[in-house]
Structure 1
Amino acid sequence: MTDMNALLEPGMLVRHPDCPDWGIGQVQSNIGGRITVNFREEGKVVLEGSRVALMPVIEE
């Protein structure tokens, strides 16, 4: 898991750097490096934190 992903907590807003068309997602959980995010355009996705560095979104 990247250092930034380790800081992600439920409720935080993020973007997937490789899938901008998914829109903004809200972190549902971050357990053992597996991050569950509910994206506006893609729905619920479980990501392996060691494979992608999610980008936090500050207010939108």
Structure 2
Amino acid sequence: MAALLEPGMMVRHPAQPDWGLGQVQSNIGNRVTVNFEHAGKRVIDLTQIHLEPVFGI
């Protein structure tokens, strides 16, 4: 999954739907920095959480 996430892509956090859409800022190793609409910038460990890509926005 980590290889699929590129800067600029939109994602959702499956366990935190209230965070809204997030835009990937960076992807280094298994850590992705995402700027979410309602939660701000978060660093996500992809070995723990599987972000859901959002297409067509």
TM-score category of the 2 structures, normalised to the smaller one: over 0.9
How many residue pairs get matched?
57
The residue aligned with 1:10 is 7
TM-score of the aligned structures, taking structure 1 as reference length: 0.89
Quick check: 1:15–1:25 contact (8 Å CA) kept in 2? yes
Superposed structure 1 runs of 4+ greater than 6 Å apart: none
TM-score of the aligned structures, taking structure 2 as reference length: 0.94
Unaligned runs of 5+ in 2: none
Percent of aligned positions that are identical: 61
Provide Cα deviations, 1:35-59, integer angstroms capped at 9, x if missing partner.
0000000000001110000000012
Unaligned runs of 5+ in 1: none
